Amino acid sequence: MTSPELTESVRQNGKERSLSNHTESTNPYELALQNFEAAADLLELNESDRAEIRAPERTLIVNVPVRMNDGSIRSFEGYRVQHSTARGPAKGGIRFHPGVTLDEVRALAMWMTWKCAVVNVPFGGGKGGVTCNPKEMRPEEIERLTRRYTSAILPIIGPDKDIPAPDVYTNAQVMAWIMDTYSMTRGHLVPGVVTGKPISLGGSLGRSEATARGVFHTIEAACQHLRFSLKGARVVIQGFGNAGSIAANLIDSAQAEVIAVSDSKGCVYNAHGLHIPKLMTHKEKTGSVVGFSGAEPITPEELLALPCDILIPAALENAITHTNAEKVRAKVVAEAANGPLTPEADAVLDELGVFVIPDILCNAGGVTVSYYEWVQNHQHISWDLNEVNSRLEAVMSRSFHEVLETSQERKTNMRTAANILAIRRVVDAAKLRGLYP
Ligand code: GLU
Protein backbone atom coordinates (compact mmCIF):
# COMPACT_ATOMS: atom_id res chain seq x y z
CA MET A 1 0.00 0.00 0.00
CA THR A 2 2.76 2.46 0.89
CA SER A 3 6.45 2.65 0.22
CA PRO A 4 8.58 2.76 3.38
CA GLU A 5 10.39 5.94 2.39
CA LEU A 6 7.11 7.80 2.00
CA THR A 7 5.70 6.72 5.29
CA GLU A 8 6.61 8.21 8.59
CA SER A 9 5.45 6.25 11.63
CA VAL A 10 4.77 7.37 15.15
CA ARG A 11 4.19 5.43 18.31
CA GLN A 12 1.49 6.91 20.40
CA ASN A 13 -0.35 5.21 23.26
CA GLY A 14 1.54 2.04 22.43
CA LYS A 15 0.12 1.89 18.89
CA GLU A 16 2.06 2.31 15.69
CA ARG A 17 0.48 4.71 13.28
CA SER A 18 1.63 6.01 9.95
CA LEU A 19 1.43 9.70 9.22
CA SER A 20 0.47 11.35 5.94
CA ASN A 21 2.15 10.79 2.59
CA HIS A 22 0.29 7.61 1.88
CA THR A 23 -2.90 6.90 0.09
CA GLU A 24 -5.68 5.35 2.07
CA SER A 25 -8.35 3.54 0.09
CA THR A 26 -11.60 5.44 -0.16
CA ASN A 27 -13.42 2.58 -1.84
CA PRO A 28 -16.40 2.16 0.52
CA TYR A 29 -16.70 -1.57 -0.11
CA GLU A 30 -13.06 -2.20 0.74
CA LEU A 31 -13.50 -0.15 3.92
CA ALA A 32 -16.71 -1.98 4.84
CA LEU A 33 -14.89 -5.30 4.40
CA GLN A 34 -11.99 -4.10 6.59
CA ASN A 35 -14.37 -3.30 9.43
CA PHE A 36 -16.18 -6.59 8.91
CA GLU A 37 -12.96 -8.63 9.14
CA ALA A 38 -11.83 -6.74 12.26
CA ALA A 39 -15.09 -7.53 14.06
CA ALA A 40 -15.11 -11.13 12.74
CA ASP A 41 -11.58 -11.58 14.15
CA LEU A 42 -12.76 -10.49 17.60
CA LEU A 43 -15.72 -12.87 17.32
CA GLU A 44 -13.26 -15.59 16.28
CA LEU A 45 -15.46 -16.51 13.32
CA ASN A 46 -14.07 -19.21 11.07
CA GLU A 47 -13.69 -18.62 7.35
CA SER A 48 -16.79 -20.59 6.35
CA ASP A 49 -19.02 -18.54 8.68
CA ARG A 50 -17.49 -15.34 7.33
CA ALA A 51 -17.85 -16.42 3.73
CA GLU A 52 -21.52 -17.21 4.21
CA ILE A 53 -22.42 -13.71 5.35
CA ARG A 54 -19.73 -11.54 3.77
CA ALA A 55 -20.60 -11.39 0.07
CA PRO A 56 -23.90 -9.90 -1.11
CA GLU A 57 -26.57 -12.54 -1.78
CA ARG A 58 -27.67 -10.87 -4.99
CA THR A 59 -26.35 -8.03 -7.17
CA LEU A 60 -28.34 -6.57 -10.04
CA ILE A 61 -26.93 -4.05 -12.53
CA VAL A 62 -29.45 -2.43 -14.84
CA ASN A 63 -29.38 -0.01 -17.74
CA VAL A 64 -31.94 2.76 -17.35
CA PRO A 65 -32.70 4.59 -20.61
CA VAL A 66 -34.69 7.80 -20.08
CA ARG A 67 -36.33 10.14 -22.57
CA MET A 68 -35.16 13.62 -21.57
CA ASN A 69 -37.32 16.72 -22.01
CA ASP A 70 -35.32 17.82 -25.06
CA GLY A 71 -36.30 14.62 -26.85
CA SER A 72 -32.91 12.90 -26.52
CA ILE A 73 -32.50 9.53 -24.79
CA ARG A 74 -29.89 9.15 -22.06
CA SER A 75 -28.88 5.88 -20.43
CA PHE A 76 -28.03 5.72 -16.75
CA GLU A 77 -26.55 2.80 -14.81
CA GLY A 78 -28.56 1.53 -11.85
CA TYR A 79 -27.99 -1.07 -9.14
CA ARG A 80 -29.84 -3.01 -6.48
CA VAL A 81 -27.77 -5.09 -4.09
CA GLN A 82 -29.28 -7.47 -1.54
CA HIS A 83 -26.53 -8.13 0.95
CA SER A 84 -28.39 -10.39 3.36
CA THR A 85 -31.84 -11.83 3.94
CA ALA A 86 -30.76 -14.03 6.87
CA ARG A 87 -32.85 -12.04 9.40
CA GLY A 88 -35.67 -10.88 7.12
CA PRO A 89 -36.39 -9.25 3.75
CA ALA A 90 -33.65 -7.03 2.33
CA LYS A 91 -34.15 -3.40 3.38
CA GLY A 92 -32.47 -0.19 2.40
CA GLY A 93 -32.69 3.05 0.51
CA ILE A 94 -32.22 4.11 -3.09
CA ARG A 95 -29.72 6.83 -3.88
CA PHE A 96 -29.74 9.10 -6.95
CA HIS A 97 -26.32 10.76 -7.05
CA PRO A 98 -23.54 11.32 -9.61
CA GLY A 99 -21.04 9.53 -7.32
CA VAL A 100 -23.01 6.26 -7.11
CA THR A 101 -20.90 3.20 -7.99
CA LEU A 102 -21.47 -0.52 -7.60
CA ASP A 103 -18.92 -0.70 -4.78
CA GLU A 104 -20.62 2.14 -2.94
CA VAL A 105 -23.98 0.35 -3.19
CA ARG A 106 -22.41 -2.94 -2.06
CA ALA A 107 -20.95 -1.21 1.00
CA LEU A 108 -24.20 0.57 1.81
CA ALA A 109 -26.12 -2.72 1.45
CA MET A 110 -23.75 -4.46 3.87
CA TRP A 111 -24.06 -1.60 6.37
CA MET A 112 -27.87 -1.93 6.18
CA THR A 113 -27.56 -5.59 7.24
CA TRP A 114 -25.56 -4.62 10.32
CA LYS A 115 -27.78 -1.58 11.01
CA CYS A 116 -31.00 -3.62 11.08
CA ALA A 117 -29.29 -6.17 13.32
CA VAL A 118 -28.00 -3.53 15.77
CA VAL A 119 -31.49 -2.15 16.39
CA ASN A 120 -32.93 -5.65 16.09
CA VAL A 121 -35.57 -5.00 13.44
CA PRO A 122 -36.42 -8.17 11.48
CA PHE A 123 -34.88 -7.11 8.19
CA GLY A 124 -31.77 -7.95 6.22
CA GLY A 125 -29.82 -5.37 4.25
CA GLY A 126 -29.97 -3.99 0.75
CA LYS A 127 -29.34 -0.80 -1.16
CA GLY A 128 -29.95 0.64 -4.58
CA GLY A 129 -28.76 3.55 -6.61
CA VAL A 130 -28.67 5.22 -9.99
CA THR A 131 -25.62 7.18 -11.16
CA CYS A 132 -27.26 10.45 -12.15
CA ASN A 133 -27.48 14.07 -11.09
CA PRO A 134 -31.08 14.81 -10.10
CA LYS A 135 -30.14 18.44 -9.45
CA GLU A 136 -29.67 18.86 -13.19
CA MET A 137 -32.88 17.04 -14.10
CA ARG A 138 -36.49 18.21 -14.37
CA PRO A 139 -39.10 16.49 -12.13
CA GLU A 140 -40.67 14.71 -15.16
CA GLU A 141 -37.25 13.31 -16.08
CA ILE A 142 -36.70 12.09 -12.52
CA GLU A 143 -40.14 10.46 -12.62
CA ARG A 144 -39.34 8.62 -15.87
CA LEU A 145 -35.94 7.56 -14.49
CA THR A 146 -37.57 6.28 -11.29
CA ARG A 147 -40.27 4.32 -13.11
CA ARG A 148 -37.86 2.71 -15.59
CA TYR A 149 -35.38 1.84 -12.81
CA THR A 150 -38.26 0.37 -10.75
CA SER A 151 -39.40 -1.75 -13.66
CA ALA A 152 -35.82 -2.99 -14.14
CA ILE A 153 -35.45 -4.09 -10.48
CA LEU A 154 -39.09 -5.19 -10.14
CA PRO A 155 -38.40 -8.94 -10.32
CA ILE A 156 -36.31 -8.83 -7.14
CA ILE A 157 -38.21 -6.32 -4.95
CA GLY A 158 -41.49 -6.82 -3.07
CA PRO A 159 -43.03 -6.29 0.37
CA ASP A 160 -41.71 -9.63 1.62
CA LYS A 161 -38.50 -9.71 -0.45
CA ASP A 162 -36.77 -6.36 -0.63
CA ILE A 163 -38.21 -3.02 0.45
CA PRO A 164 -36.63 0.22 -0.85
CA ALA A 165 -36.74 3.57 0.97
CA PRO A 166 -35.39 7.11 0.49
CA ASP A 167 -31.67 7.86 0.63
CA VAL A 168 -29.44 10.67 -0.71
CA TYR A 169 -31.43 12.82 -3.21
CA THR A 170 -34.54 10.64 -3.18
CA ASN A 171 -37.71 11.44 -1.22
CA ALA A 172 -41.34 10.56 -0.51
CA GLN A 173 -42.38 11.53 -4.08
CA VAL A 174 -39.84 9.11 -5.56
CA MET A 175 -41.20 6.39 -3.23
CA ALA A 176 -44.75 7.15 -4.46
CA TRP A 177 -43.59 6.60 -8.08
CA ILE A 178 -41.89 3.33 -7.13
CA MET A 179 -45.01 2.13 -5.33
CA ASP A 180 -47.23 3.11 -8.26
CA THR A 181 -45.01 1.43 -10.87
CA TYR A 182 -44.83 -1.77 -8.80
CA SER A 183 -48.58 -1.72 -8.06
CA MET A 184 -49.61 -1.10 -11.70
CA THR A 185 -47.48 -4.06 -12.79
CA ARG A 186 -48.91 -6.35 -10.11
CA GLY A 187 -52.47 -5.20 -10.81
CA HIS A 188 -53.27 -4.06 -7.25
CA LEU A 189 -52.04 -1.51 -4.72
CA VAL A 190 -49.00 -2.73 -2.76
CA PRO A 191 -48.09 -0.03 -0.21
CA GLY A 192 -45.63 -2.29 1.66
CA VAL A 193 -43.19 -2.45 -1.28
CA VAL A 194 -41.52 0.80 -0.17
CA THR A 195 -41.25 2.85 3.01
CA GLY A 196 -40.80 6.58 3.38
CA LYS A 197 -43.97 7.13 1.30
CA PRO A 198 -46.13 10.25 1.53
CA ILE A 199 -48.48 9.98 4.56
CA SER A 200 -51.56 10.05 2.29
CA LEU A 201 -50.32 6.90 0.51
CA GLY A 202 -49.65 4.82 3.62
CA GLY A 203 -46.49 6.49 4.87
CA SER A 204 -45.90 6.57 8.61
CA LEU A 205 -46.14 9.65 10.74
CA GLY A 206 -42.67 10.49 11.97
CA ARG A 207 -40.79 8.68 9.17
CA SER A 208 -39.34 11.78 7.50
CA GLU A 209 -37.83 13.02 10.79
CA ALA A 210 -36.91 9.56 12.07
CA THR A 211 -33.24 9.46 11.03
CA ALA A 212 -32.55 12.81 12.69
CA ARG A 213 -34.61 11.92 15.76
CA GLY A 214 -32.61 8.72 16.17
CA VAL A 215 -29.35 10.67 15.80
CA PHE A 216 -30.61 13.07 18.46
CA HIS A 217 -31.47 10.26 20.91
CA THR A 218 -28.05 8.65 20.54
CA ILE A 219 -26.42 12.06 21.14
CA GLU A 220 -28.51 12.49 24.29
CA ALA A 221 -27.38 9.05 25.46
CA ALA A 222 -23.73 9.86 24.69
CA CYS A 223 -23.93 13.15 26.62
CA GLN A 224 -25.38 11.31 29.59
CA HIS A 225 -22.67 8.65 29.39
CA LEU A 226 -19.87 11.24 29.08
CA ARG A 227 -21.48 13.44 31.73
CA PHE A 228 -21.89 16.68 29.87
CA SER A 229 -25.04 18.61 29.18
CA LEU A 230 -26.49 18.88 25.68
CA LYS A 231 -27.95 22.20 26.75
CA GLY A 232 -25.33 24.79 25.85
CA ALA A 233 -23.17 22.27 23.93
CA ARG A 234 -21.54 23.53 20.70
CA VAL A 235 -22.50 21.54 17.63
CA VAL A 236 -21.14 21.44 14.06
CA ILE A 237 -23.09 19.74 11.27
CA GLN A 238 -21.67 18.74 7.89
CA GLY A 239 -24.60 18.28 5.48
CA PHE A 240 -27.98 19.98 5.59
CA GLY A 241 -30.24 17.47 3.87
CA ASN A 242 -32.98 15.39 5.48
CA ALA A 243 -30.82 14.12 8.33
CA GLY A 244 -28.63 17.19 8.96
CA SER A 245 -31.29 19.90 8.81
CA ILE A 246 -33.82 18.11 11.01
CA ALA A 247 -31.07 17.14 13.47
CA ALA A 248 -30.10 20.83 13.61
CA ASN A 249 -33.67 21.70 14.49
CA LEU A 250 -33.93 19.10 17.26
CA ILE A 251 -30.56 20.12 18.71
CA ASP A 252 -31.55 23.77 18.57
CA SER A 253 -34.79 22.96 20.42
CA ALA A 254 -32.72 21.26 23.13
CA GLN A 255 -30.92 24.60 23.63
CA ALA A 256 -27.60 23.44 22.28
CA GLU A 257 -25.80 25.85 19.95
CA VAL A 258 -25.38 24.88 16.30
CA ILE A 259 -22.35 27.01 15.43
CA ALA A 260 -21.66 25.81 11.86
CA VAL A 261 -23.36 23.88 9.07
CA SER A 262 -22.51 23.05 5.48
CA ASP A 263 -24.13 21.70 2.36
CA SER A 264 -22.74 20.71 -1.05
CA LYS A 265 -22.38 24.40 -1.99
CA GLY A 266 -20.56 25.79 1.08
CA CYS A 267 -20.34 26.32 4.85
CA VAL A 268 -21.62 28.95 7.27
CA TYR A 269 -20.44 29.75 10.80
CA ASN A 270 -21.53 31.89 13.72
CA ALA A 271 -19.56 31.59 16.97
CA HIS A 272 -22.66 32.59 18.96
CA GLY A 273 -24.89 29.98 17.34
CA LEU A 274 -26.84 30.01 14.06
CA HIS A 275 -30.53 30.90 14.04
CA ILE A 276 -31.73 27.51 12.79
CA PRO A 277 -35.37 28.36 11.88
CA LYS A 278 -34.15 31.33 9.80
CA LEU A 279 -31.41 29.20 8.23
CA MET A 280 -34.01 26.56 7.24
CA THR A 281 -36.12 29.26 5.58
CA HIS A 282 -33.04 30.59 3.77
CA LYS A 283 -32.19 27.07 2.51
CA GLU A 284 -35.79 26.51 1.35
CA LYS A 285 -35.79 29.81 -0.57
CA THR A 286 -32.30 29.70 -2.13
CA GLY A 287 -31.53 25.98 -2.22
CA SER A 288 -28.40 26.38 -0.07
CA VAL A 289 -27.14 27.54 3.33
CA VAL A 290 -24.62 29.74 1.48
CA GLY A 291 -25.28 33.47 1.73
CA PHE A 292 -27.19 33.23 5.03
CA SER A 293 -27.03 36.70 6.58
CA GLY A 294 -26.67 35.60 10.20
CA ALA A 295 -23.31 33.92 9.57
CA GLU A 296 -19.88 34.15 7.97
CA PRO A 297 -18.62 31.77 5.28
CA ILE A 298 -15.88 29.24 6.15
CA THR A 299 -14.20 26.45 4.17
CA PRO A 300 -15.12 22.76 4.53
CA GLU A 301 -11.66 22.14 6.09
CA GLU A 302 -12.25 24.85 8.69
CA LEU A 303 -15.69 23.46 9.49
CA LEU A 304 -14.37 20.00 10.38
CA ALA A 305 -11.59 21.53 12.51
CA LEU A 306 -13.84 23.79 14.62
CA PRO A 307 -13.52 23.28 18.37
CA CYS A 308 -16.93 21.92 19.44
CA ASP A 309 -18.60 19.37 21.68
CA ILE A 310 -20.43 17.44 18.98
CA LEU A 311 -19.56 17.03 15.30
CA ILE A 312 -22.25 15.49 13.09
CA PRO A 313 -21.13 14.32 9.64
CA ALA A 314 -24.48 14.13 7.81
CA ALA A 315 -23.38 14.06 4.17
CA LEU A 316 -21.55 11.28 2.32
CA GLU A 317 -18.86 8.64 2.87
CA ASN A 318 -15.21 9.47 3.62
CA ALA A 319 -15.78 12.96 5.05
CA ILE A 320 -13.09 12.29 7.64
CA THR A 321 -10.00 10.37 6.53
CA HIS A 322 -6.43 9.99 7.79
CA THR A 323 -5.60 13.39 6.29
CA ASN A 324 -8.07 15.50 8.31
CA ALA A 325 -8.95 13.31 11.33
CA GLU A 326 -6.16 14.80 13.43
CA LYS A 327 -7.75 18.23 13.12
CA VAL A 328 -11.06 17.18 14.65
CA ARG A 329 -11.68 19.05 17.92
CA ALA A 330 -14.93 17.44 19.08
CA LYS A 331 -15.77 15.32 22.13
CA VAL A 332 -18.38 13.33 20.23
CA VAL A 333 -18.70 12.47 16.54
CA ALA A 334 -22.26 11.37 15.70
CA GLU A 335 -22.42 9.67 12.30
CA ALA A 336 -25.72 10.71 10.75
CA ALA A 337 -24.29 9.80 7.33
CA ASN A 338 -23.35 6.27 6.28
CA GLY A 339 -19.60 5.61 6.32
CA PRO A 340 -18.33 9.17 6.96
CA LEU A 341 -15.15 7.95 8.71
CA THR A 342 -12.49 5.71 7.19
CA PRO A 343 -10.94 3.03 9.45
CA GLU A 344 -7.74 5.12 9.66
CA ALA A 345 -9.73 8.18 10.73
CA ASP A 346 -11.37 5.97 13.35
CA ALA A 347 -7.96 4.99 14.72
CA VAL A 348 -6.87 8.63 14.93
CA LEU A 349 -10.07 9.69 16.70
CA ASP A 350 -9.64 6.78 19.12
CA GLU A 351 -6.21 8.09 20.04
CA LEU A 352 -7.56 11.59 20.45
CA GLY A 353 -10.18 10.19 22.82
CA VAL A 354 -13.14 11.20 20.65
CA PHE A 355 -16.33 9.24 21.35
CA VAL A 356 -17.71 8.08 17.97
CA ILE A 357 -21.36 7.02 17.70
CA PRO A 358 -21.11 4.70 14.67
CA ASP A 359 -23.44 5.12 11.67
CA ILE A 360 -25.13 1.72 12.00
CA LEU A 361 -26.34 2.79 15.45
CA CYS A 362 -26.51 6.58 15.12
CA ASN A 363 -28.63 6.82 11.97
CA ALA A 364 -30.70 3.65 12.50
CA GLY A 365 -33.80 5.65 13.44
CA GLY A 366 -34.71 5.90 9.76
CA VAL A 367 -34.91 2.19 9.13
CA THR A 368 -36.53 1.61 12.53
CA VAL A 369 -39.49 3.81 11.57
CA SER A 370 -39.42 2.25 8.08
CA TYR A 371 -40.07 -1.01 9.90
CA TYR A 372 -43.01 0.60 11.74
CA GLU A 373 -44.36 1.87 8.42
CA TRP A 374 -44.14 -1.62 6.93
CA VAL A 375 -45.86 -3.15 9.99
CA GLN A 376 -48.69 -0.57 9.74
CA ASN A 377 -49.07 -1.30 6.00
CA HIS A 378 -49.27 -5.05 6.64
CA GLN A 379 -51.89 -4.55 9.36
CA HIS A 380 -53.85 -1.83 7.49
CA ILE A 381 -53.70 0.50 10.47
CA SER A 382 -51.91 3.73 11.30
CA TRP A 383 -50.24 4.69 14.54
CA ASP A 384 -50.28 8.20 15.96
CA LEU A 385 -47.08 10.22 16.07
CA ASN A 386 -46.64 9.73 19.77
CA GLU A 387 -46.69 5.96 19.41
CA VAL A 388 -44.08 6.06 16.61
CA ASN A 389 -41.79 8.48 18.45
CA SER A 390 -41.96 6.76 21.81
CA ARG A 391 -41.22 3.35 20.28
CA LEU A 392 -38.32 4.91 18.34
CA GLU A 393 -36.87 6.52 21.44
CA ALA A 394 -37.03 3.24 23.36
CA VAL A 395 -35.29 1.33 20.55
CA MET A 396 -32.51 3.93 20.15
CA SER A 397 -31.85 4.08 23.87
CA ARG A 398 -31.85 0.29 24.28
CA SER A 399 -29.58 -0.17 21.27
CA PHE A 400 -27.15 2.53 22.43
CA HIS A 401 -26.81 0.82 25.81
CA GLU A 402 -26.40 -2.63 24.28
CA VAL A 403 -23.57 -1.33 22.10
CA LEU A 404 -22.03 0.56 25.03
CA GLU A 405 -22.10 -2.56 27.22
CA THR A 406 -20.51 -4.61 24.45
CA SER A 407 -17.78 -1.98 24.07
CA GLN A 408 -17.11 -2.06 27.82
CA GLU A 409 -17.06 -5.86 27.98
CA ARG A 410 -14.83 -6.19 24.94
CA LYS A 411 -12.76 -3.06 25.61
CA THR A 412 -13.33 -1.78 22.09
CA ASN A 413 -14.66 1.44 20.63
CA MET A 414 -18.35 1.84 19.84
CA ARG A 415 -17.96 1.00 16.12
CA THR A 416 -16.29 -2.33 16.74
CA ALA A 417 -18.84 -3.08 19.47
CA ALA A 418 -21.77 -2.30 17.13
CA ASN A 419 -20.23 -4.47 14.41
CA ILE A 420 -19.65 -7.33 16.85
CA LEU A 421 -23.23 -7.19 18.12
CA ALA A 422 -24.68 -7.01 14.62
CA ILE A 423 -22.49 -9.66 13.01
CA ARG A 424 -23.16 -12.04 15.93
CA ARG A 425 -26.93 -11.67 15.37
CA VAL A 426 -26.62 -12.28 11.63
CA VAL A 427 -24.35 -15.31 12.08
CA ASP A 428 -26.71 -16.78 14.68
CA ALA A 429 -29.70 -16.37 12.32
CA ALA A 430 -27.79 -17.91 9.40
CA LYS A 431 -26.66 -20.86 11.57
CA LEU A 432 -30.13 -21.54 12.95
CA ARG A 433 -31.59 -21.51 9.46
CA GLY A 434 -28.88 -23.88 8.25
CA LEU A 435 -27.50 -24.19 4.76
CA TYR A 436 -29.93 -24.81 1.90
CA PRO A 437 -30.09 -27.35 0.23
N1 GLU B 1 -31.55 5.18 3.58
C2 GLU B 1 -31.74 5.06 4.99
C3 GLU B 1 -30.53 4.44 5.65
O4 GLU B 1 -29.43 4.49 5.12
C5 GLU B 1 -33.06 4.38 5.35
C6 GLU B 1 -33.21 2.98 4.89
C7 GLU B 1 -34.61 2.41 5.10
O8 GLU B 1 -35.43 3.02 5.77
O9 GLU B 1 -34.85 1.31 4.58
O10 GLU B 1 -30.59 3.94 6.74
386 part of a folded domain = no
Q: Are 338 and 363 in contact (CB under 8 A)?
A: yes
Verify that 186 and 66 share a domain, yes or no.
Answer: yes
Verify that 337 and 219 share a domain, yes or no.
Answer: yes
**Could you tell me what percent of the chain has a pLDDT over 90?**
94
Nearest CA to ligand 1 atom 8: 367
Which whole-number Å values give the CA distances from 346 to 12, 31, 237, 238, in the listed order?
15, 11, 18, 17
Is it the case that residue 262 has pLDDT exceeding 70?
Answer: yes
23 part of a folded domain = no
Verify that 125 and 60 share a domain, yes or no.
Answer: yes
Is residue 127 among the annotated active site residues?
A: yes
Q: Which of 81, 163, 211 to mutate to test the pocket of ligand 1 (most atoms within 8 A of CB)?
A: 211
DSSP one-letter string for 271-309? TT---HHHHHHHHHHHSSSTT-TTSEEE-HHHHHTSB-S
Residue 369 CA to ligand 1 centre (angstroms): 9
Which whole-number Å values give the CA distances from 53 to 44, 81, 112, 117, in the listed order?
14, 14, 13, 13
Verify that 127 and 168 share a domain, yes or no.
Answer: yes
Verify that 336 and 220 share a domain, yes or no.
Answer: yes
Tell me how many domains the chain contains: 2
pLDDT range class, residue 22, cuts 50, 70, 90: confident
271 part of a folded domain = yes
Verify that 161 and 218 share a domain, yes or no.
Answer: no
Work out which ligand 1 atom sits closest to the CA atom of 371: 8
- Residue of 124, 152, 340 lying closest to 244 (CA atoms): 340
16 part of a folded domain = no
Nearest CA to ligand 1 atom 9: 92
- The CATH number for 238's domain is 3.40.50.720
Work out which ligand 1 atom sits closest to the CA atom of 168: 1
What pLDDT, on the 0 to 100 scale, is given for residue 21?
58
Instruction: Choose the final residue of a domain: 362, 377, 398.
Output: 362
Which whole-number Å values give the CA distances from 286 to 112, 281, 291, in the listed order?
33, 9, 9
Verify that 186 and 214 share a domain, yes or no.
Answer: no
What pLDDT, on the 0 to 100 scale, is given for residue 68?
98
User: pLDDT tens digit string along 326-372?
Assistant: 999 999 999 999 999 999 999 999 999 999 999 999 999 999 999 99
Cα 297 versus chain centre, distance: 27
Exposed (0-12), middle (13-18) or buried (19+): which is 122, by Cβ within 10 Å?
middle
Work out which ligand 1 atom sits closest to the CA atom of 167: 1
Verify that 149 and 223 share a domain, yes or no.
Answer: no
74 part of a folded domain = yes
Is it the case that residue 15 has pLDDT exceeding 50?
Answer: no
Work out which ligand 1 atom sits closest to the CA atom of 163: 9
Q: Give me the numbers of helices (H) and strands (E) for the chain, helices first please.
A: 14, 14
Verify that 276 and 338 share a domain, yes or no.
Answer: yes
Are β-strands 8-12 and 15-19 bridged in parallel, bridged antiparallel, or unpaired?
antiparallel
Instruction: Choose the final residue of a domain: 362, 382, 406.
Output: 362
28 part of a folded domain = no
Average pLDDT, the chain: 95
379 part of a folded domain = no
Using CA atoms of 391, 315, 354, 223 in order, give the dihedral in degrees to the nearest 10.
-30
Residue 274 CA to ligand 1 centre (angstroms): 28
Verify that 85 and 134 share a domain, yes or no.
Answer: yes
Mean pLDDT to the nearest integer, 125-132: 98
Residue 66 CA to ligand 1 centre (angstroms): 26
Q: Which of 370, 371, 373, 374 to mutate to test the pocket of ligand 1 (most atoms within 8 A of CB)?
A: 370
User: pLDDT tens digit string along 296-310?
Assistant: 999 999 999 999 999
Contacts of 239 (CB under 8 A, 6+ apart): 262, 263, 312, 313, 314, 315, 316, 336, 337
9 part of a folded domain = no
Mean pLDDT to the nearest integer, 261-272: 98
Residue 373 CA to ligand 1 centre (angstroms): 12
Contacts of 297 (CB under 8 A, 6+ apart): 266, 267, 268, 269, 290
Work out which ligand 1 atom sits closest to the CA atom of 123: 9
Verify that 170 and 229 share a domain, yes or no.
Answer: no
Q: Which of 112, 369, 388 to mutate to test the pocket of ligand 1 (most atoms within 8 A of CB)?
A: 112
Crossing angle of helices 102-118 and 28-42, rounded to 10°: 40
- Segments forming the whole domain that contains residue 124: 55-190
**Could you tell me what percent of the chain has a pLDDT over 70?**
95
Is it the case that residue 141 has pLDDT exceeding 70?
Answer: yes
Verify that 60 and 151 share a domain, yes or no.
Answer: yes
Residue 108 CA to ligand 1 centre (angstroms): 9
What pLDDT, on the 0 to 100 scale, is given for residue 4?
37
Residue 272 CA to ligand 1 centre (angstroms): 33
What pLDDT, on the 0 to 100 scale, is given for residue 415?
98
- The CATH number for 98's domain is 3.40.50.10860
User: pLDDT tens digit string along 177-210?
Assistant: 999 999 999 999 999 999 999 999 999 999 999 9
What pLDDT, on the 0 to 100 scale, is given for residue 294?
87
Spatial strand order in the sheet of 125-131: 58-67, 73-84, 125-131, 90-97, 162-166
What pLDDT, on the 0 to 100 scale, is given for residue 23?
83
Q: How far apart are the first and last CA of the chain?
A: 41
Contacts of 409 (CB under 8 A, 6+ apart): none
User: pLDDT tens digit string along 385-402?
Assistant: 999 999 999 999 999 999
Which whole-number Å values give the CA distances from 136 to 99, 101, 351, in the listed order?
14, 19, 42
Residue 117 CA to ligand 1 centre (angstroms): 13
Work out which ligand 1 atom sits closest to the CA atom of 196: 8
Which residue out of 127, 197, 283, 331 is catalytically annotated?
Answer: 127
What pLDDT, on the 0 to 100 scale, is given for residue 53?
96
pLDDT range class, residue 114, cuts 50, 70, 90: very high
Residue 14 CA to ligand 1 centre (angstroms): 38
Q: Which of 167, 194, 195 to mutate to test the pocket of ligand 1 (most atoms within 8 A of CB)?
A: 167
Q: DSSP strand E in 155-213: where?
A: 162-166
Pocket, ligand 1, Cβ cutoff 6 A = 91-93, 165, 167, 195, 338, 363, 366-367, 370
Instruction: Choose the final residue of a domain: 342, 362, 382.
Output: 362
Are β-strands 355-357 and 332-334 bridged in parallel, bridged antiparallel, or unpaired?
parallel
